Structure 1
Amino acid sequence: MKRPCLHAICTILNTPGACRLGANLQTGALMGRLTFSQLPGAIMRGTPHLQIRLLGDLELWRNEKLLSSDAWPDRKTCQLLKLLVTFRHRVVATDELIEALWSKLDPYAARNSLWVAISQLRRVLEPELTVRGDSSFILTEPPGYRFDSAGQCSIDVDAFLKQVRSGQEQQLQGKLTAAITAYTAAAALYRGDYLERDPYEEWAIPPRERLRETFLDLLRDLAACHLALGRYQDALSIARRALELEPCRESVWRLVMEAHYRAGEQDQALRAYERCREALSRELGVSPVAETTALHTRILQNPLVPVHAPPAALPPALALRLPFVGRSREWPRLCELLQQVMEGQGQVVLITGEPGIGKTRLLEELAALAIARGARVLSGCGYEIE
């Protein structure tokens, strides 16, 4: 009789269960006749696809269907999943799980309760599980248990952080439109604070605070990208959302001031500074930092007027209020180049075109943006010799 090829069996099945099966085969012959019905449960069935949402209230989706509260045997089983997923990058010790969930029980009862909850959780995640301990997601590893996505689980926190990192990379490269796309996708994933219905669980507090801080930074950076592209109302809308969550965030107040200033609303910019100062005094008992004060002084002393107004131009106050439209291709590119200049990378730009198409207005807007961001702008003009 020809010897079976164990390597071929494991390659075809390509699952952890297949490798465990291979360990039970003796070299030279099969231990009895192997049939498909005798394979471990993890091989017989298809592992379900899970979606776990931790931002806001917990949501568990299995094969695109949201599990209702009735799917959970009890609250402890649900809490156990939250714990294991929170610490999914490591093994969570048995004693740690007991301390978090069954600290009031005696050691024997606590371990038994943990064992029952683990079994129930595995059934919630994989209803067709047929072999005890053969879960694809809840693994038994000394000294406790570990959650494994098994390539079949997506977690909103991971997707959120991935989009944030993508936005940061695009922003650093000056690709502001791409950064906005990534940041907006990340913001859409943030349905609320991490496990917001568990405000007093000590193990949930550190990730909640980190993710909230990341979200606030995201809103600040998203507003900054809109501001750099001249989308002042979008920048203001996003900045206000951040201030609703954290009224004392000075970096966001500065964006609000600058957006109003760039939109020609100097009075609103100055009023934003006063609101910032009041919030800091009321909540923290401090004054604005030097950077905020310097921006206030610059806005106060430098009303936003065109750097160079030709004789036929409208009065500065009126020209300031006219909307700046069009230039959907040129304006983002100029803003990206300005960003590079602010980072110390000199640039030279030549703008050409027929008379009357808006070259001067385009340069005025760019110069005003540079002034608002603290740059020194020098202007000059020349005339064709008659």
Structure 2
Amino acid sequence: MAHLRRGDEGAADIYATAEAEAAALGLSGLLATVEPTLATLFRPGERGPARRHIQLLGGFSVTIDGVDATPPPGRGSTLVKALAVADVPLSLDEILELLWPGEDPAVARRRLRNLLNRIRDDATGVVVRTAAGLALAPGFTTDLDEFRSAARTALDDTSNPELGRRAVAAYTGELLPGDRYEDWSALPREQCTRLYCAVLDALATGAAARGDLAVAMAHADRAIAAEPFDETRPVQAAHWALDAGRSDQARAYLALADRVVAELGVRDPPGLERARARLAAR
């Protein structure tokens, strides 16, 4: 367990050796009884650790080989979420400020020690200590990382729409919707949404260039839904609708653009007047 908490990737091998030595002494199953947490993580007879995954998009859950290991709501789950979103270790000072802002440091550190003990039991070793502070235990994957990787690959090669479709499919919902009003989650959520919309924009532009205007507008609609206060996308979508001979759809897009401009108090985006003129000429 000590090796696992330190983030030692050789913990699985150490466990397997201990299992073999116990079996040689006629004590098969001893470790599973003494350390059920490790028995869950390192299944006897298997190579390496069990599949450990954290869902962050569209909701929050922690699973180990399909078995739910989600910490209950509270500071423990907040810590796991923050570490998973950051994807890098967080210093103790950052964690204390996140969980107990303004608290006396000594009191906060004592509370953190108690919290880590609870997380160890509730989430089977999901958090480990590192030289930098705290991090996710080795071997955990997140759907956020999988989406980020797919999206960056798609944006690196926008000529291949299949890459973009895979990235869009990997985005299964808003980042941590249950923490929408938490300050620590705001920037990562915004960045994730922007990355998703960038992929949709690339797919829409590519589809329009191929003459697939209905597909282009479908991608634009998803981006508009994700970022409803962007005034430029409805204008571009209106031009595609006009190109496709869909005046009513173009009118709806322009009405949306006008509403966003009015609510934000910003200037008309490029192309808005031209779209209005094109519509009026129909």
- Give the structure-2-normalised TM-score: 0.74
Comparing both structures, which one devotes a greater share of its residues to helix? 2
Q: Is the 8 A contact 2:51 2:64 kept in 1?
A: yes
Structure 1 residues 279, 48: closer, same or farther in 2, change over 3 A? same
1:194 corresponds in structure 2 to 175
Out of 124, 140, 160, the residue aligned to residue 129 of structure 2 is 140
Q: Secondary structure of 2:134's partner? A: strand
Matched length? 255
The percentage of aligned residue pairs carrying the same residue is 24
2:99 corresponds in structure 1 to 101
Rg larger in 1 or in 2? 1
Q: Is the 8 A contact 2:234 2:256 kept in 1?
A: yes
Structure 1 residues 201, 284: closer, same or farther in 2, change over 3 A? closer
Structure 1 residues 119, 258: closer, same or farther in 2, change over 3 A? same
Aligned runs of 1:1-386 on 2, under 5 Å?
Answer: 15-17=9-11, 36-37=21-22, 45-46=42-43, 47-67=49-69, 72=71, 75-89=74-88, 91-103=89-101, 106-126=104-124, 138-142=127-131, 144-148=133-137, 150=138, 152-171=139-158, 175=159, 178-179=160-161, 181-265=162-246, 267-268=247-248, 271-272=251-252, 274-294=254-274, 297=277
**What's the CA shift string for 1:155-175, capped at 9, x where partnerless?**
11111111112222221xxx3
Q: Is the 8 A contact 1:256 1:272 kept in 2?
A: no
- Give the structure-1-normalised TM-score: 0.56
Q: Matched residues in 1 for 2:99 and 2:76: separation?
A: 10
Q: Which runs of 5+ in 1 are unaligned?
A: 1-13, 22-34, 127-134, 304-386
Alpha-carbon RMSD across the aligned residues, in angstroms, is 3.5
Q: Is the 8 A contact 1:49 1:153 kept in 2?
A: yes
Q: Is the 8 A contact 2:62 2:68 kept in 1?
A: yes
Q: Matched residues in 2 for 1:271 and 1:18: separation?
A: 61
Structure 1 residues 103, 278: closer, same or farther in 2, change over 3 A? closer
Q: Which runs of 5+ in 2 are unaligned?
A: 1-7, 23-29, 44-48
Q: Is the 8 A contact 2:56 2:143 kept in 1?
A: yes
1:81 aligned partner, one-letter code = V
Q: Matched residues in 2 for 1:226 and 1:169: separation?
A: 17
Question: Higher relative contact order by CA 8 Å / sep ≥ 6: 1 or 2?
Answer: 2
Q: Matched residues in 1 for 2:174 and 2:279: separation?
A: 36
Q: Matched residues in 2 for 1:118 and 1:276: separation?
A: 48
Q: Matched residues in 2 for 1:140 and 1:200: separation?
A: 28
